[in-house]
Structure 1
């Protein structure tokens, strides 16, 4: 891999992250005003919270953003800690939508229909149409909708650029050996995934990078699996940072997110590696594809939620033991500054507090 490939990889990553940001901001502007109302309608039922958390995160394409919003809601008193558990679990499921969208870049085939299904074909076309509409439209909502399409096109362009840049790695012995090392030492793979995701503060972006690397054909299931597990832990960094200086219940919400992912990783690791030791799964040594990564990412979050959903009160108790109980102060709800990251929700909340 030469210097030009490295430059192309960094450029592709920049496009990828920028496109994700543009798309997320557009989605928030279009539907952000309704998000608070949706989350406020949560009942005590944790299962409904899971569904709503998954739906909201699938819309805004960021579990970190949803979790930070939940921390803000809990901090300002408009959501109880028990309600936050379900939303946090659902957010982990909803964020896997991005991986499925990115798996489209792996579609193969020479027919016209198959070619049209490839993002490299339809994304530029959609971007051209959206940019043309943006230039001539005077309606802000129309421009916001177009920004979602433009962001998606940029994201896909970044993914294609990254995939092309890393293709030379397929012939690099050290690259395949590195993933063999992760397969032989899963703890190392989990740490690598967690650190990478904590640095870029997005599990979707981290999974996208892994999907781009899988285009080399040199990554095995066994090498990718622990990295994907670690990515789910690393995404907790954003919520933990956002709760600094917050009230204790908000800190507990952030720790619930952390504990959910840690316990999920431990439980699924023991289950998978235990079964593999007994039955020696053949697919572990096989090559993993973009779609395979999306399947693993989704399966982890669905299974972890299924395992921990009955123990949601245990997670609340564990977080309460970590952050000791606060004496009631009687403070009125206030506008949490974390909402400023989502202007539509900040505006909605300000209007309610000043009404």
Structure 2
């Protein structure tokens, strides 16, 4: 009996390892395409459901898709209701693993192809590079999944006649509630509902539990995944907390519905497919798993925006709103973290240049000291977050995006510090020629604050032209100031003061151009697309 327990647990471990390797390999192989699919195919919650379902089926990990969705919300690519659609769809997509196990795991001689698959995958992983190596990881994981199932079956065979449905809670309301609790505990321990469902299928196939008992356990496993979701929000920003709570609320409501739909579902299956419970209980179980998740999505989908608004009110944004997108949980995914940094930079940029434009046109305007402090704090926090992103030098796309963010932050910080110089602002407005230069710069600031990023090379070039014009105007003004001073119409101290103000304007124009350049496609054609929602 001890041998059977160890064998079954070892099989579960192999299954978990296989799932991890499969997910890791598929994500490495399809990550760029997956990000493109989610960004381009999600325009409303319904599309989000389809995208979430398909994406989860591809990478075999609802957690990975949830993390991506949170990252896109942080980057401003998706709205929160759209991200909810993806999370709902991921709940359906994660049931694909159960269909895999039910259709292939018990109807084929697993040992005949699983071991060769593992060998093939290891060869690809050892000798391959890039996508080939990632494919080897996925193949190895796929093979280990079925090795794990086969090992669990051998372990469960040791318990025939010992572990029977009679030793589990009976098929009553209290009994089912206990079984649901067992399912929750299994998922919390294994941190994988897919592994739990696979174990339930193996136990059902071995007649160790009945179909009703297995279904109640699967309901608990579906609910248990929310524990992982809540853990993932620890230390996260408000978007992560909203997503985690939405996951908990949705899965809890779905579990309640599934609990009361279990008997009607089994009665309907018995009427439409006589003998299914006896001949194909595994298919009935995974069918129920998919069914109640689909019912949950169908029921909540029309109310997604209302649901999202409720959660947003429960978790309001606090603190410095300029850094609301920065989420420490995203740091393990450099591309998602850089998306969040880029979107944060755009938020800061809008505030800085709107304020600069206002002050250039109205130097007597009251300075918002709290806003100035918030901007400086946001720049500091964004820089710290950027430094924590683990970018690999060989990854040229993320490396270029990283450097673009570093340069842009530096120029924004310089602009923000120049904003504090009210004396030069007043000098600019007191001199007509400088006032004209200030108007040109104010117009450029208004334009860049309203732009969508990344800018095209042509747009960035337009800001270069503005900078060049300011440089020319400054030289002309300096020559005129020297000439006026020579003729005694201006004192040397006044001339120096005016020329200093002209240089100040010209330097701001330079920083505006460099911000435009570094946030443009010519810096990196694959700069994250963080069009704001």
RMSD of equivalent CA atoms? 3.0
Structure 1, gaps ≥5 residues long: 108-116
Residue in structure 2 matched with residue 87 of structure 1 by the alignment: 86
In 1: Cα distance, 2:269 partner to 2:50 partner: 34
Do structure 1's residue 121 and structure 2's residue 112 form an aligned pair? yes
Residue in structure 1 matched with residue 30 of structure 2 by the alignment: 31
- Give the match's secondary structure for 2:170: helix
- Pick from 177, 182, 190: which aligns with 1:200? 190
Which 10-residue stretch deviates more, 343-352 or 225-234? 343-352
- 1:20–1:155 contact (8 Å) kept in structure 2: yes
In 1: Cα distance, 2:306 partner to 2:323 partner: 28
In 1: Cα distance, 2:52 partner to 2:403 partner: 27
In 2: Cα distance, 1:150 partner to 1:225 partner: 30
- 2:176–2:216 contact (8 Å) kept in structure 1: yes
State the Cα deviation string for residues 32-77 of structure 1 (Å, max 9, x = none).
2333333223544111101111111111111122223323433454
TM-score by length of 2: 0.58
Residue in structure 2 matched with residue 143 of structure 1 by the alignment: 133
In 2: Cα distance, 1:230 partner to 1:163 partner: 22
Trace 1:23-62 onto structure 2 (pairs within 5 A): 23-62=22-61
Residue in structure 1 matched with residue 511 of structure 2 by the alignment: none
- Pick from 157, 170, 181: which aligns with 2:170? 181
Residue in structure 2 matched with residue 320 of structure 1 by the alignment: 312
In 2: Cα distance, 1:134 partner to 1:319 partner: 44
Do structure 1's residue 218 and structure 2's residue 217 form an aligned pair? no
Which 10-residue stretch deviates more, 236-245 or 86-95? 236-245
Residue in structure 2 matched with residue 110 of structure 1 by the alignment: none
In 2: Cα distance, 1:280 partner to 1:147 partner: 41
Which 10-residue stretch deviates more, 314-323 or 244-253? 314-323
| Residue 214 of structure 1: how far off its partner (Å) | 1.6
Q: 1:213 to 1:98 in 2, by over 3 A?
A: same
In 2: Cα distance, 1:195 partner to 1:47 partner: 32
In 1: Cα distance, 2:239 partner to 2:335 partner: 24
Structure 2, gaps ≥5 residues long: 338-390, 392-396, 405-533
In 2: Cα distance, 1:3 partner to 1:301 partner: 37
Q: 1:14 to 1:272 in 2, by over 3 A?
A: closer
Q: 1:272 to 1:16 in 2, by over 3 A?
A: closer
State the Cα deviation string for residues 18-41 of structure 1 (Å, max 9, x = none).
111111111111112333333223
| Residue 349 of structure 1: how far off its partner (Å) | 6.5
| Residue 130 of structure 1: how far off its partner (Å) | 3.0
- 2:72–2:336 contact (8 Å) kept in structure 1: no
Q: 1:204 to 1:263 in 2, by over 3 A?
A: same
In 2: Cα distance, 1:285 partner to 1:183 partner: 18
Greater relative CO, 1 or 2 (CA 8 Å, sep 6+):
1
- 2:187–2:224 contact (8 Å) kept in structure 1: yes
In 1: Cα distance, 2:275 partner to 2:259 partner: 16
Residue in structure 1 matched with residue 329 of structure 2 by the alignment: 338
Q: 1:136 to 1:270 in 2, by over 3 A?
A: closer
In 1: Cα distance, 2:334 partner to 2:284 partner: 36
Residue in structure 1 matched with residue 457 of structure 2 by the alignment: none
Do structure 1's residue 233 and structure 2's residue 223 form an aligned pair? yes
TM-score by length of 1: 0.85
Residue in structure 1 matched with residue 73 of structure 2 by the alignment: 74
Residue in structure 2 matched with residue 291 of structure 1 by the alignment: 283
- Give the match's secondary structure for 2:64: helix
- Pick from 123, 126, 130: which aligns with 1:132? 123
Do structure 1's residue 303 and structure 2's residue 295 form an aligned pair? yes
Q: 1:253 to 1:134 in 2, by over 3 A?
A: closer
